[in-house]
Structure 1
Amino acid sequence: MITSVFSKSKPINYIIVFAITLFAVLLAYILVVKQPFSAALFGNFMLRLALSYFSILVLNFIVTKNQLSKSNNYQIFLFSLFLLLIPQTTTNVDVLLSNLFILFGLRRLISLRSQRNEKSKLFDAGFWFAIAALFYFWAILFFVVVFAALLFYRDNKLRNWIIPFTGVASVFIITVCVSIVLHNEYLYYFQNLPEISEDFSSYNTPRFFVGITLLLSYTVWSIIFYLNAIKDKKRDVRPSFYIILITLLVAIVILFFSPFKNGSEFLFVMAPLAIIIAAYLETIKDKWFREAFVGLLILMPIVLLFL
């Protein structure tokens, strides 16, 4: 059965995950891009594929390095299935880059558990989240996760609450310098004011509606059991699981703030949701229910091809 294959970390798992991701990016090209083949388009395709692969590897590193799973590959498998469920998430290079930088920042925040090099980790988190915001402005909301992490780790040092802002300041200074050198303007990259769109009409297609409904259902169901599962975790790792939950909630808020509701914004939800659902899968004792739970995620993208 499929969950048995991914219950242990094996090289074959990565091949399967990368194959699913490749199909998701191809599907996005066929269903969304719909442009004639060209060298530029192929280059863009390879870039989107590389960013998707790299995001999977970073996600896997976060999970294994911080004991967020029981030595399985559920997280990356679920992430690839999410990409296949909503292939539009791989169409926007800016969103892919922003999400990758968010994963970099999240990695540094969760590693605060070791209580070593706290200053550099907080600086890096602020730095990476600020870079993410350059590519997708509303990614700046993930700065909330920085302060949530400080609260969860009960850090009362004032300087540690200030350090993340130095990371943001560093990105601002570097960006201004690049703006001056390349465009002879101080704020060339800050000219566009943030926008908010309340138009959700693009979600009204059968493919989008079914995919989003399934994702939402899995989110609500898994969070309920995820919160209960945290209580059984070791005290020193609990903050890491709460940080993942806060990250997911911030990502959901970004869905409403997104200026362009084209589906790519759902990418921010997928990494934390994959971790949360994977944690839930580890608690399911009924093998057949676990298989059905994952099987629906595998079957639905196939069904949606005919809508």
Structure 2
Amino acid sequence: MISNFFSKSKPIHYIVVSLMLLLVYVVNKFKILTTDIDVIVALKQLGLFLICLLSVFVFDFLVTRNNLTKKNSYNIVLFVLFFAILPQTILNSQIVVANFFVLLALRRLISLRTQKDIKKKLFDASFWISIATLFYFWSSVFFVLVFAALLIYAITDLKNYLIPILGIATVAVILISYLIINEIDIVSFATGSFDFSLDFSALNSKPIIVGSTILLSFGLWALFYYIKNIKSQMKSYRPSFKLIIITVILGLVIIAVGPSKDGREFIFLFAPLSIIMTNYLEVISEKWFKETLLWVIILTPVAILLL
């Protein structure tokens, strides 16, 4: 049974999940590659796959290190399956890289729970989000998460509220220096990066409708149990669980204002929804229901391929 196999965290799960991700990546990349595959193209695709794979391990590290779920592998399985359900997310290199840096930032923000190295963690988080913004502008929405973390973790020293600005300024100085050296117009670069759209017509395709419906409906259902369960968590861990909910909200904001509206923006929901749904799977007592839920998620990508 799938649920039993992943119910305990084991080294073999990392191999299985890596192979699953490789299969999803190869199948979807071959569908869109129109140029002949040479060494350069192969290396670029290999590099992007490694970033996707590294994202899985960074995500797993932040979850296990901060006890956001129990000791199982549901979180990484769901994370990879979401790529399969909405493969548009894995096809755009810039948004994949941006999401990787957002995960690095999220890892640092959640670790504020320990109240150690606060300034360093705040600088790192704002720095990583700034880097993510260079690849996908609307990653900047996650700057809200930095200040939300300051409030949720009750960090009252006003000096700490200036640290994120320093992290942003550091990346800005590096970027401006690069643009000046390469004689790139700063104003044109800035205006070219900013774009938004409230036209959702691009999402009106059967694969995206089915994939997003499964993702959001299961996620919303699990969210009710997740919120209810926060009170049962240790007091020191509750802020971290609240931060995950804010991450979901910010991910939805990006989907709403992002310019492409082709499904790629859903990638920012994968990590928080994986945590929320894993917490739900952990409290399901009926094994048949848990098994059915996992099989629906597993078979959804197959059904989408047939559309």
Q: Shorter-normalised TM-score: what interval?
A: over 0.9
Cα pair 1:123 1:167 within 8 Å, conserved = yes
Deviation of the 1:239 alpha carbon: 0.5
Distance 2:141 2:35 in 1: 34
Deviation of the 1:148 alpha carbon: 1.2
Quote the residue 2:232 is aligned against.
Answer: 232
Is 1:291 paired with 2:291?
yes
Quote the residue 1:168 is aligned against.
Answer: 168
**Which digits, 9 at most, give the CA deviation of each residue in 1:107-128, with x for residues without a partner?**
1100001111101111111111
**Structure 1: gaps spanning 5 or more residues:** none
Q: Which moved more, 1:174-183 or 1:269-278?
A: 174-183
Per the alignment, in what secondary structure is the counterpart of residue 192 of structure 1? Answer: helix
Distance 1:126 1:305 in 2: 38
Letter in 2 for 1:62: L
Quote the residue 2:180 is aligned against.
Answer: 180
Distance 2:184 2:101 in 1: 27
Distance 1:52 1:184 in 2: 30
**Structure 2: gaps spanning 5 or more residues:** none
Is 1:119 paired with 2:119?
yes
Deviation of the 1:25 alpha carbon: 1.0
Quote the residue 2:217 is aligned against.
Answer: 217
State the identity %.
Answer: 41
Distance 1:125 1:185 in 2: 28
Quote the residue 2:132 is aligned against.
Answer: 132
Deviation of the 1:74 alpha carbon: 1.0
Deviation of the 1:216 alpha carbon: 1.2
**Could you say what the CA RMSD is over the residues aligned between the two structures, in angstroms?**
1.5
- Counting only pairs closer than 5 Å after superposition, residues 265-284 of structure 1 correspond to structure 2 as 265-284=265-284
Per the alignment, in what secondary structure is the counterpart of residue 37 of structure 1? Answer: coil
Cα pair 1:48 1:91 within 8 Å, conserved = no
Letter in 1 for 2:41: L
Cα pair 1:179 1:187 within 8 Å, conserved = no
Distance 1:193 1:290 in 2: 43
Deviation of the 1:35 alpha carbon: 4.3
Cα pair 2:56 2:79 within 8 Å, conserved = yes
Distance 2:95 2:169 in 1: 22
Quote the residue 2:87 is aligned against.
Answer: 87
Is 1:143 paired with 2:160?
no
Cα pair 1:130 1:168 within 8 Å, conserved = yes
Taking structure 1 as the reference length, what is the TM-score of the superposition?
0.96
Q: How has the CA–CA distance of structure 1 residues 185 and 54 changed in structure 2, closer, same or farther, with 3 Å as cutoff?
A: same
